[in-house]
Amino acid sequence: MTKRVKLGNVFDALQALEDPKYNAWRFFKPVYTHPSSMFVGIRVPQSRQVVKEVECSEKDMIELIKSNKHEYRRTGLFYLNEIYKNGDKQRAIDLYLELIEHVNNWDLVDGSVVVPGRWLMENYTPKEGLIKEYNSDKHLELIKELPEWYQKLLKSKDLWEMRISIVLLLSCKEHPDFCFNILNYCSARKEIYLYGKEFNDHDLIHKAIGWLIRDTGKTNKTKMLRFLDLFAMHLHPTTISYSTEHLNPSQKQKYKKMAKK
């Protein structure tokens, strides 16, 4: 891992930062949070500072990621990001996939997908060309060519694994057609489970798809508009709202009218 000044044990460092008066719950809906998970009031910048200053063994990092304390899991995942950036990339992706069940809230997903996202871009060459049918056999053919672990995530019905499979595309924005093809496939997913039970709130998925359409569109607006022209009628209104935030009022209105009712 990156050379750090060892200021003490990572668990001691985190425990010293715990602040029960800090209401972290306001950022999280209880319905998304695992029953065993607890918040201890450590801010995100504090987690990053610990990673910057305190050495952490792989064993301790794994223990952090498996902790029932949300902020400890977050800090452990930040350490894992550093392994990918500065150390053994293959070990980092292997650990990420091994520990993926503990990546179980929106911030943990969004703060750690750099590992699978960058690995995908460094080890897989995306095919260019937009598939112009909605959720077609061509999408299934594309999925079959992806690394096995990514195929599994894309086919998963677990809420957090689904969000990981979408948000990791932030690392793939230089290949807009590839991103849009994957988002097309993801938008057709119907069943979602959370902690083993069927879950009917798809809001985090609709928002993630819209976010990725928007950000990919910043790389190539023409291709984004072509994608929306073809598929807006299949997309949830929330997805359309997020994906069109940066468009002019007339364009926003056009796609909102096209959105799936």
Q: What is the pLDDT of residue 8?
A: 64
Domain ranges of the chain: 1-112, 124-261
Residue with tokens 């977050």: 74
Q: Over the stretch 50-77, which tens digit does the pLDDT of each residue have?
A: 999 999 999 999 999 999 999 999 999 9
What's the average model confidence in pLDDT over 179-193? 95
User: H or E segment at 162?
Assistant: helix 159-167
Of 3, 171, 8, the residue nearest 87 (C-alpha): 3
Strands 197-198 and 193-194: antiparallel
- Output the pLDDT for position 27: 85
Residues 227-236 have pLDDT tens digits of: 999 999 999 9
Domain covering 124-261 in this structure, CATH number: 1.25.10.90
> What string of H, E and C letters represents the secondary structure of 188-214?
CCCCCEECCEECCCCHHHHHHHHHHHH
For the stretch 103-139, pLDDT in tens is 999 999 999 999 999 999 999 989 889 999 999 999 9
Provide the whole-model pTM: 0.94
pLDDT digits (tens, 9 = 90+) for 10-22: 999 999 999 988 8
Give whole-number Cα distances, 24 to 5, 173, 195, 201, 236, in Å: 29, 31, 21, 22, 29
- Average pLDDT, rounded, for the chain: 94
40 confidence band (pLDDT: 50, 70, 90): very high
CA–CA gap between residue 250 and residue 261 (Å, rounded):
19
Distances (CA, A) of 234 to 105, 121, 141, 184, 192: 27, 28, 21, 9, 18
Inter-residue contact 239 to 207 (CB < 8 Å): yes
